[in-house]
Each structure stands twice: as C-alpha cells, then as structure tokens.
C-alpha cells in the first residue's frame, strides 16, 4: 500500500524509500549480528552456511496409495532431491482408517493414505532409510507415523541411531490455524513430551518437532505474527519438556522450525534473521541453555502456497523462484519449492520436477552460495530485522500476558489476530491496492486450458480391501492386549510410545491406536464450535 513515498510491509510496518546510517543509530553490530554460526545467530546457524554445501532440497510429496507415492519418491531421488517430505491424506492426519465413515471422499486426496505397518512398508519399499533424510508432515498422530517408520527401518536391518529426519509434531498450531487436531491441548503436550523422551533414548539423530508458522501464514498471519506465535508455541513445548523433568540441553538441540517464504523478499529475509535472534535470546535467558545448539533456530522453509494463483498458473514459476531465493538469502536449512500447478491440483510429475529444478538453479547457477549472509550490514535489511523483531516480541508479550500459548489458544487470541490480518490483506487485494498479477491486474480474457493430475477415486475402495485383509490375517488377541496396554499407559504417567510401538508392530491400525487414546484423553472441541 502506498502512502506518499512510504510503503507498508506485509506486517504493516513502514518501508522507507531510502535507508542510511541514521536508520541504525545506536545499533551494536557485535550484539545484534555476531558472527555466522555464533550467538545470537542472526547471520546463520553455521559458520560456512552454503559455502560448504547447499541446503537440503526436500520436496513435499504424497498422494493416493503408498505404492503411487513410493514411485514419486523414487523419481524425485533420481532427479536429485536430497530429502523426502511425506504428505499424508486427511484421514491419516486425523487418526482415522480409510474405511471409517468420516474418511469417505478424502482417502488419498491431499496426501498418501497410511493405515498400518503394511502401508508404511510399501511407502518406503526399496528406499534405503539410512541414506535418506525424511520429514513427515504429521501432527496429532505424529508418534504413530514415527514409530511405523522406525519399524520399517528395523525390518530393513537399519539401527535407529542411523535414522535422520523430522516429524512435524506441532499440534498447537493446529488449534490456531489448521484444524487437524485430535486430542485436547494438554494431553497433546504430554504426548509431545513423550516423543522428546523417546527420541532422546531411541532415535538420537531425529528432529523431534518442527514448530510451524507456515500454516499460520497460509491462514493469513503477517510475517511478524508468524514468527511471534510460532516461537510462543516453541516456548510452550520447551516448558512442557522441562516440567516433565528433562534438561533443556538434552532435547533442545533436536528442535526445528518450519516457516513460509513469501514474494516480499526483503521482509522475509529480515523475518528469518529476527526469528533466529529472538529464539537464541529466549533459550539462553529464559531457559538457561548452555549448549550453543540449544540456542540455534534451525528451520525448513516452504514457498507460499497461498500466494499461488489458479489464473495464469505458469506465472507461479516466477513467484516460487523469488520465494525460494528469499528462503536461501534468509539462511534456511532445507527448502521445498511448490509446483506451479498446485493452485489447481496435486503436482504432476513434470511440475514437481520443475519445482526441484528451481532449487538446483539457485544452488548451482547463481552466486548466492558463494558467500555467507549476503545481506549482512545492509541498512534496509538490518533496520527491517529490528522492526520485525520488535513487532514479534510485542505479540509474544501479549501471549505471555494471557498465560502462555495454550491459555491464549483457549482464549482464541492468536486465531483472532490472524483473521484480522487476513481480512486486511483481502480488502487490499479486492480494492487493487495490493497487486496480484493475473488476478486483479494483467489478466487474460480467456485462460488457457490445463489438465490437472487427479487421484483415482478407486483408492478408497482399495484401501478398504487392504484393511479387511489385514484384520483377517493378524492375531486379534495380540492386538487387543497391546491396545489395552496403551490405554493403561495413557491413563498413567508412563511413556505411551513404547506400548504404542508394540500395538503397531502387532498390526493395529492408525485408527485403532488413535481410538484407544481418544477413549482415555477425549477429543478437542473448539470453544467457538458451541
């Protein structure tokens, strides 16, 4: 939005037409910047950043059956992706089997259907799990999918301490922005703490959580809101683990984050730098972390799906390239670049390959990997970093005043703030103040035809048949005994992941395991549902 010569950022902060030394009066480079790989990590979490090796190119994929998704993963690996990122369908995310009434019409649509250990075997068949890093975008049932992955690795003869990857496991943002929750917040936090403890003992190289601002941004959060509410959730997770008796330096080095990258490149770079600085100070000053790795905000980035348009979809190639560049200049550890046709349907093989090629061009044909933190000392970037940090810290204080992230969620604070910002953006777009190429300016009289990838509706019937065969072929008493042990652990204080693993090994389904926990913990109903 233009006001005289001053523009407004995505966070509603002013962007001056010219910046100079006066913008940084009283600014201490040693305190605000530090060195790359050193506190407060404004300039990145590693001394060499991409001059040693590029970020992990982790393409998000999954649709239909486990066999179809396995074929896509093999294609991505063959094309040069360096990390897998699994998308699960909605029933799996909500802890329902594919033959459950609530799953009807959603099986395999927005990700892959995984109902049991049998599906997980197929999903990763022929993929050496000790040589690939895997991220799984799963939250409320995160423990189940992590354990299924470990069981498949065991069948491949791979030791747990050789597995690397991330499970998203960020249920708090589900209550704020996304909605794929199962249990109420407090037992969900207990489950998160159990995952932290389990991974420390059994999966030491696994990132136990990816605390996510991406979905808040998709719901309409500004950059300042995105990092404020994400870091507030992070503080809640750390407090939960500490209250459960864990030392902060025992688990904090395995925490990771997940942010969006928008087309507003300058503010996005500033956002990433501000987030690192805030987190480092919180971990050192509030939690007394001593290990530098506990203070490092390591994050994955995905380009902004909400900014992709169904109109003139090929223009999305340009948007994704700019967004990917913002993530790289901001110092991301891994990156997913969206396919240009995702506003229309699931990505085709060709569009998924082009998305990966975008990252490869950034890594190998530009000079952004030749030097660490190219924007350090830039008047505009350093000033914008300070502005975004101040706005985010102000919002985090408001969350604290309400009693912390969980209490604020129960009050609806974050959701209301995000909805208010989303309305502001929508009004600016509708009025034409905010230009969206191909939507409210530079439109075509007639859109060119496009044939999207569609999931075979027969997937649901095939999954139901697989489940029927599984239930007929397994040992029913063993499954019942394992589920009873899980309910007992859920009602007490024992770590639920150990009996959960045995239930899954006995071929209990995702729906059955989540159902056992629902019996003990109940289900979450938001306050505004009444």
What DSSP element (H or E) covers 218? helix 214-218
Query: Tokens standing for 174?
Result: 């589900």
Band the pLDDT of 83: cuts 50, 70, 90: confident
Strands 165-167 and 209-212: unpaired
Please give the full DSSP string across 232-295, using - where no structure is assigned. Answer: HHHHHHHHHHHHTT--HHHHGGGEEEEEEE-S-HHHHHHHHHHHHHHHHHHHHHTT---SHHHH
Please give the pLDDT value at position 346: 82
* Residue-averaged pLDDT of the chain: 94
Instruction: Say yes or no to pLDDT of 149 above 50.
Output: yes
Instruction: Say yes or no to pLDDT of 5 above 90.
Output: no
Please give the pLDDT value at position 265: 97
The pLDDT tens digits for 107-128 are 999 999 999 999 999 999 999 9
| Least confident span in 89-103, 251-265, 299-313, 344-358 | 344-358
| Least confident span in 138-152, 187-201, 435-449 | 435-449
Please give the pLDDT value at position 35: 94
Please give the pLDDT value at position 338: 97
Closest CA to 375 of 266, 301, 275: 266
Burial 204-242 (b: 16+ CB within 10 A, else e): eebbbbbbbbbbbbbbbbbbbbbbbbbbbbbbbbbbbbb
Please give the pLDDT value at position 2: 40
Strands 206-207 and 165-167: parallel
The pLDDT tens digits for 447-473 are 888 777 778 889 999 999 999 999 999
| Least confident span in 8-17, 331-340, 358-367, 521-530 | 521-530
- Do 187 and 235 form a contact (C-beta atoms < 8 A)? no
| Least confident span in 18-32, 123-137, 436-450 | 18-32
Please give the pLDDT value at position 1: 40
Q: What pTM did the predictor assign?
A: 0.92
Question: What average pLDDT does the segment 323-336 reach?
Answer: 97
The C-alpha atoms of residue 276 and residue 234 are separated, in whole angstroms, by 13
DSSP 57: E
The C-alpha atoms of residue 299 and residue 45 are separated, in whole angstroms, by 10
Query: Tokens standing for 271?
Result: 């956002």
Please give the pLDDT value at position 3: 40
The pLDDT tens digits for 363-419 are 999 999 999 999 999 999 999 999 999 999 999 999 999 999 999 999 999 999 999
Query: Tokens standing for 326?
Result: 């913002």
The pLDDT tens digits for 260-300 are 999 999 999 999 999 999 999 999 999 999 999 999 999 99
Please give the pLDDT value at position 529: 54
Please give the pLDDT value at position 528: 66
Band the pLDDT of 6: cuts 50, 70, 90: low
Please give the pLDDT value at position 26: 84
Q: In the chain, pLDDT over 90 holds for what percent of residues?
A: 89
Please give the pLDDT value at position 54: 96
The C-alpha atoms of residue 152 and residue 166 are separated, in whole angstroms, by 16
Band the pLDDT of 479: cuts 50, 70, 90: very high
The pLDDT tens digits for 31-74 are 888 999 999 999 999 999 999 999 999 988 899 999 999 999 99
Question: What average pLDDT does the segment 149-165 reach?
Answer: 97
């Amino acid at each position: 939005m233009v006001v005289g010569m001053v523009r407004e950022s995505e966070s509603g902060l002013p962007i001056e037409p010219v910046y100079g030394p006066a913008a940084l009066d009283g600014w201490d480079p040693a305190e605000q910047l530090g060195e790359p790989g050193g506190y407060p990590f404004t300039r990145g979490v590693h001394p060499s950043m991409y001059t040693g090796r590029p970020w992990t190119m982790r393409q998000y994929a999954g649709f239909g059956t486990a066999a179809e998704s396995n074929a896509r993963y093999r294609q991505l690996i063959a094309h040069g992706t360096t990390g897998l990122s699994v998308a699960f369908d909605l029933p799996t995310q909500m802890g329902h089997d594919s033959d459950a009434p609530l799953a009807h019409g959603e099986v395999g649509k927005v990700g892959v259907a995984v109902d049991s250990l049998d599906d997980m075997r197929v999903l990763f068949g022929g993929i050496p799990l000790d040589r690939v890093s895997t991220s799984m975008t799963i939250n409320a049932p995160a423990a189940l999918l992590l354990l299924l992955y470990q069981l498949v690795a065991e069948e491949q003869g791979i030791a747990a301490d050789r597995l690397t990857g991330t499970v998203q496991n960020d249920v708090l943002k589900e209550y704020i922005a996304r909605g794929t929750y199962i249990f109420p917040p407090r037992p969900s936090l207990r489950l998160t703490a159990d995952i932290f403890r389990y991974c420390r003992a059994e999966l030491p190289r696994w990132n136990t959580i990816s605390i996510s601002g991406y979905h808040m941004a998709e719901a309409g959060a500004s950059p300042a809101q995105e990092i404020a509410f994400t870091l507030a959730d992070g503080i809640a997770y750390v407090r939960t683990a500490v209250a459960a008796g864990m030392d902060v330096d025992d688990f904090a080095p395995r925490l990771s984050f997940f942010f969006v990258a928008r087309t507003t490149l300058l503010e996005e770079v500033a956002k990433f730098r501000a987030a690192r600085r805030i987190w480092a100070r919180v971990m050192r000053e509030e939690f007394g972390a001593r290990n530098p790795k506990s203070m490092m905000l390591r994050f994955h980035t995905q380009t902004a799906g909400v900014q992709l348009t169904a109109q003139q979809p090929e223009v999305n190639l340009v948007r994704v390239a700019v967004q990917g560049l913002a993530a790289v200049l901001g110092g991301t550890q891994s990156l997913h670049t969206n396919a240009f046709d995702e506003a229309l349907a699931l990505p085709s093989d060709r569009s998924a390959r082009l998305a990966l090629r975008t990252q490869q061009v950034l890594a190998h044909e530009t000079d952004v990997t030749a030097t660490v933190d190219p924007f350090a000392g830039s008047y505009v970037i350093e000033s914008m970093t300070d502005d975004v940090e101040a706005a985010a810290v102000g919002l985090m204080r408001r969350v604290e005043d309400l009693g912390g992230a969980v209490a604020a969620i129960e009050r609806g604070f974050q959701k209301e703030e995000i909805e208010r910002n989303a309305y502001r953006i929508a009004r600016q777009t509708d009025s034409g103040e905010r230009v969206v190429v191909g939507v409210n300016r530079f439109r075509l009289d007639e859109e060119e035809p496009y044939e999207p990838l569609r999931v075979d509706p027969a997937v649901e019937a095939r999954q139901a048949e697989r489940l029927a065969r599984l239930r007929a072929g397994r040992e029913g008493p063993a499954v019942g005994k394992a589920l009873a042990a899980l309910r007992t652990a859920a009602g007490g204080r024992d770590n639920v992941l150990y009996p959960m693993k045995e239930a899954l090994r006995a071929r209990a389904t995702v729906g059955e395991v989540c159902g056992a926990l629902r019996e003990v913990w109940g289900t979450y109903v938001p306050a505004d549902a009444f």
